[in-house]
Structure 1
Amino acid sequence: MINWIYPEVIADLIEACNDFINGKITAQEIQSKIYGAENQIVAIDEKWLRELLFNAENEIELLIYTVDEGQLQSSVMPIVQNILSKIK
């Protein structure tokens, strides 16, 4: 387990990712949660994480506007799973 500078932010992000995977929140909601976490992480030591979240949030934004609603959940799923794999 990584010792995070912002453990509460990471815990909230993990919970949001799991909620998305379990169908409890929408793609728009996970995008918002990722954006919020990204803006709370300012330490230089976790710059890589901020970049990861920035890229993920932008990818989800693109998918929201280019993918049919029926395929949105499955299109966003790999992005969310990638975030989880990097922060767990």
Structure 2
Amino acid sequence: MQEIVNGTQATSIEGVVWRKSRSSNPSGNCVELARLPGGDIAVRNSRHPAGPALIYTTAEITAFVQGARDGDFDSMLGEE
């Protein structure tokens, strides 16, 4: 099995399906996520799909998504 760590070139991660939000815009300003065989989640910049992927555990992604739903990051957008 291929070892996938932070910084692995995203295009070298085989057998995954990259997904992006339906809310992404046509200029490609979004991130894409893929579930890895071991359960972790890879994240890449959609404008640089051959660039490095960041690897997160399911628990880390769950905490981030819940925080986004709760508005924890709204201040980063200038919306408090």
Q: TM-score, normalised by structure 1?
A: 0.31
Larger RCO (alpha carbons 8 Å, 6+ apart): 1
Q: TM-score, normalised by structure 2?
A: 0.33
Question: 1 or 2, which has the higher helix percentage?
Answer: 1
